[in-house]
Amino acid sequence: MSLLPPPERERLRSQYPEVFARPASARLATPAMISGAAAIFLFGLVDLDFSPARLVAGFHQLGWITMMMIPPDPGSSLPAYLVALGETLSIALLGTTIGALVALPVSLLAARNIVPSGIFRFPVRRFLDSIRGVDTLIWALVWINVVGLGPFAGVLAIAVSDFGAFGKLFSEAIETADRKQVEGIRASGGSALHEIRFGLMPQVLPVIAGQVLYFIESNTRSATIIGIVGAGGIGLQLAEQIRVLEWQKVSFLILMILVAVAAIDWISSKLRFAIIGRRAVA
Amino acid sequence: MTVAVPLLPSQQLAALNDAYRAAMMRKRIRFTVASAIFAAALTIAAIGAEVNLKTFFTYLGNFASYFDRILTLEDGTRVWTNVGEWFWGWRKWLALLGETILISYVGTLAGAILAFALNFLAAENTSPAPWLRFTVKRLMEFCRTVPDIVFALIFVIAFGLGPMAGVLAIMIHSVGALGKLYSEIVENIDMKPVEGVRSTGASWVSCMRFAVVPQVAAGFASYTLLRFEINVRGASVMGFVGAGGIGQELVVAIRKFYYSDVSAILLMIVVTVFVIDIGTGWVRGRLFGKDARA
């Protein structure tokens, strides 16, 4: 590769000064950001008690645990695990359905094209945001205090945290709906409720159905873990077996969860395609 | 204004009407069958999940009164009348919240670095060998399907109680989630620069470094920030299983019925999550323009 002759280089340099001499702030920004991020990372490692000795000992231990997990073996508790898995799937299905049913009317209140006044909309939106800011596990703990230990608390926990998420998603779906059909209903003398029922709902329902199915899928994952705090399902078995160090049962339970999640994924993607067509799956 | 609408001859009209009715009938039957199946599934689920409406309505009052109780101080006054008493432990809680954020930061960054190293092997257009791609993809799938809190439970036993287990759990989960998103970005790049670099005789690593990374860096950073946001939420409950952060305090407060503490800690978590959401949204907007915010 040959360089340009020096006078030509000088001419280019004077003609395009901004290409050759980038300001110091632009040149230093990336290294400064990287070293800042690295400094926080190192501080974090120190502050969180990371030490090579602990890491080595831990990985050694982890290696042993992995060895003991093979082969996965449910022992004699396979029927109990299958029941627990059924419970988990029930929790996901019921919790999502209840959350969606309750969220639908509330999401109308949070949509700009239904409630134009910001004074009403704002508190509804913040309310939904704060429900979403609290993790499902925390809701499970709260519901355990209210209805006692067991899967029912799990259903309610999933329902509440989905209510927050659905309220936001549904109201966004409603806001992007086409205005013309609503105007058509109004022009033919329909009331406000008619506008929602015949103008909005036919547009919005397929989108909502897709989202609900997707959530049933992702809640199967959440429902596996709320058992850890005592809200029923397969998580309860898993946490127990980990505590008593029955590693073969642990690995069997993890495998069961993986298979169940994959099966639900498959079913729900088939259903989604059937409801809203292949292209609309976001 | 009256306009005469021309009607079709009645024979043609009847045929169209019949077709319409038949189509509507099919639709209704399908809808009814689908609802019946769904209702049956719900009923089975309700039996499986031991749903008891009687318990629910008996104790529904408890749910409302629970919020009443967590908003009441021990001397019976409302929490906001005496903020100093409500947030009596704010020093300790703030320190734990800082630890929570640090856990998610270190976990996200370590996960992002590993995902960065692995994703080029998993992307269809850059992977050096099909068997390697298959292995890495399955590994990532495993990492993201097992919930992070399950990893935390196991790591607490292997590495001992404390934030280290939480960091590692979040790291593993982030490797799986980010690796998938990263490799999807890589699969969508323009391959011409890669061919250009390869034609100069560059190695695989140089191809990635000079042709792929410049195209994908912005997308990677955006997804990493999103993941950080999600991981802050995840880290707030890591303490439930003893893996560090604010969760430990919260679970103790809930289980031991320290009502006003529950509301104080919950409020702090919600505010932190808001601030992180808005902060990362702002950074993404600054770095990559407005459309990257969605």
Per residue in B25-68, pLDDT (tens digit) is: 998 898 899 889 888 888 888 887 777 777 777 777 777 788 88
Q: A45 and A107 share a domain?
A: no
Q: How confident is the model at residue B293 (pLDDT cuts 50, 70, 90)?
A: very low
Q: Would you say A209 and A276 are in contact if contact means Cβ atoms under 8 Å apart?
A: yes
Our CA-based measurement puts residue B100 at a distance from the nearest CA of chain A, in whole angstroms, of 10
Of B55, B66, B106, the CB nearest to A45: B106
User: How far separated are the first and last CA of chain A, in Å rounded?
Assistant: 48
Whether residue A239 lies within 8 A of chain B, CB to CB, comes out as: yes
Q: How confident is the model at residue B1 (pLDDT cuts 50, 70, 90)?
A: low
Q: A141 and A223 share a domain?
A: yes
Q: Would you say A212 and A158 are in contact if contact means Cβ atoms under 8 Å apart?
A: no
Cis, bond preceding B163 (omega within 30 deg of 0) = no
Q: Which of B105, B106, B252, B256 is most worth mutating to test chain A (most A CB atoms within 10 A of its CB)?
A: B106
- Which residues, 6+ apart, have CB-to-CB distance to B258 below 8 Å? B252
- pLDDT tens, per residue, chain A with 282 residues: 556 777 887 888 888 777 777 777 777 877 888 888 888 888 888 888 888 888 888 888 888 888 888 888 777 888 888 888 888 888 888 899 999 999 988 888 888 777 777 787 888 888 888 888 788 888 888 888 888 888 888 888 999 999 988 988 888 888 888 888 888 888 888 888 888 888 888 888 888 888 888 888 888 888 888 888 888 788 888 888 888 888 888 899 989 888 888 888 888 878 877 776 654 444
Per-chain mean pLDDT for chain B: 85
Domain count, chain A: 2
Q: A64 and A89 share a domain?
A: no
Is A44's CB within 8 Å of B159's CB? no
CATH number for the domain that contains residue A132: 1.10.3720.10
The letter for the amino acid at A200 is L
Query: Which of the 8 DSSP states describes residue B6?
Result: P
Each domain of chain B, given as residue ranges in start order, spans 90-293
Our CA-based measurement puts residue B127 at a distance from the nearest CA of chain A, in whole angstroms, of 25
Q: What are the C-alpha distances in Å from B29 to residues A263, B17, B33, B43, B67?
A: 28, 18, 6, 21, 45
Of B50, B110, B158, the CB nearest to A62: B158
pLDDT over threshold 70, residue B161: yes
pLDDT greater at residue B287 or residue A70:
A70
Which of A254-258, A268-272, B69-73, B284-288 has the lowest average pLDDT? B284-288
Of B49, B255, B270, the CB nearest to A90: B49
Using a 10 angstrom Cβ sphere, with 0-12 exposed, 13-18 middle and 19 or more buried, the burial of residue B150 is: buried
Q: Write out residues 155-194 of A within 8 Å (CB-CB) of B.
A: 155-156
Is A94's CB within 8 Å of B147's CB? no
Residue A163 within a domain: yes
Q: A97 and A153 share a domain?
A: yes
Q: What is the pLDDT of residue B289?
A: 60
Q: A218 and A126 share a domain?
A: yes
Q: A32 and A156 share a domain?
A: no
Residue A282 within a domain: no
Q: Write out residues 207-226 of A within 8 Å (CB-CB) of B.
A: 221-222, 224-225
Q: How confident is the model at residue B189 (pLDDT cuts 50, 70, 90)?
A: confident
Q: A26 and A149 share a domain?
A: no
The letter for the amino acid at A207 is V
Per residue in B255-278, pLDDT (tens digit) is: 888 888 888 888 888 888 888 888
CA distance B254 to B261: 8
Residue A12 within a domain: no
Q: A96 and A58 share a domain?
A: no
Residue A281 within a domain: no
Phi, psi of B142 (to 5 degrees): -60, -45
Q: What is the pLDDT of residue B22?
A: 92
The letter for the amino acid at A120 is F
For B20, the token pair is 């319409």
Q: What is the pLDDT of residue B136?
A: 92
Q: A28 and A105 share a domain?
A: no
- Domain range spanning residue A169? 78-276
CA distance A91 to B77: 38
Neighbours of B188 (CB within 10 A): 11
Of A48, A146, A221, the CB nearest to B167: A48
pLDDT over threshold 50, residue B294: no
Contacts of A55 in chain B (CB under 8 A): 159, 164
Q: Which of B63, B103, B229 is most worth mutating to test chain A (most A CB atoms within 10 A of its CB)?
A: B63
Per residue in B93-143, pLDDT (tens digit) is: 899 999 999 999 999 999 999 999 998 888 888 888 889 999 999 999 889
Query: Which of the 8 DSSP states describes residue B72?
Result: B
Q: What is the pLDDT of residue B111?
A: 94
Q: What is the pLDDT of residue B288?
A: 67
Q: Fold for B90-293, please state it.
A: MetI-like fold (1.10.3720)
Contacts of B52 in chain A (CB under 8 A): 152
Give alpha helix (H) positions in B123-257: 130-145, 148-159, 163-187, 192-199, 204-207, 213-235, 247-255
Of B227, B236, B131, residue with least CA distance to B180 = B227
Contacts of A97 in chain B (CB under 8 A): 42
Q: A161 and A235 share a domain?
A: yes
Residue A9 within a domain: no
For B192, the token pair is 């011409």
Residue A14 within a domain: no
Q: A113 and A35 share a domain?
A: no
Q: What is the pLDDT of residue B105?
A: 93
Q: A65 and A106 share a domain?
A: no
Residue of B nearest to A127 (CA): B270
Residue B72: strand pairing partners: B78
Residue A7 within a domain: no
Of B226, B217, B225, B231, residue with least CA distance to B185 = B217
Residue A1 within a domain: no
Whether residue A250 lies within 8 A of chain B, CB to CB, comes out as: yes
CA distance A197 to A176: 16
CB pairs under 8 A between A and B: 167
Proportion of chain B above pLDDT 90, given as a percent: 19
Contacts of B256 in chain A (CB under 8 A): none
Q: What are the C-alpha distances in Å from A146 to residues A128, A236, B59?
A: 21, 19, 6
Contacts of A150 in chain B (CB under 8 A): 50
Proportion of chain B above pLDDT 70, given as a percent: 97
Of A59, A217, A171, residue with least CA distance to B164 = A59
Is A151's CB within 8 Å of B49's CB? yes
Is A228's CB within 8 Å of B52's CB? no
**Positive or negative torsion for Cα B196, B197, B203, B204:** negative
Query: Which of the 8 DSSP states describes residue A280?
Result: T
Q: Which of B237, B263, B280 is most worth mutating to test chain A (most A CB atoms within 10 A of its CB)?
A: B237
Q: What is the pLDDT of residue A2?
A: 58
* Contacts within 8 Å (CB) and 24+ apart, B117-123: B118/B175, B118/B179, B119/B178, B119/B179, B119/B182, B119/B183, B119/B186, B120/B183, B120/B186, B120/B208, B120/B212, B122/B179, B122/B180, B122/B183, B123/B182, B123/B183, B123/B184, B123/B186, B123/B187
Contacts of B233 in chain A (CB under 8 A): 133, 135
Our CA-based measurement puts residue A14 at a distance from the nearest CA of chain B, in whole angstroms, of 28
What ipTM is given for this predicted complex?
A: 0.77
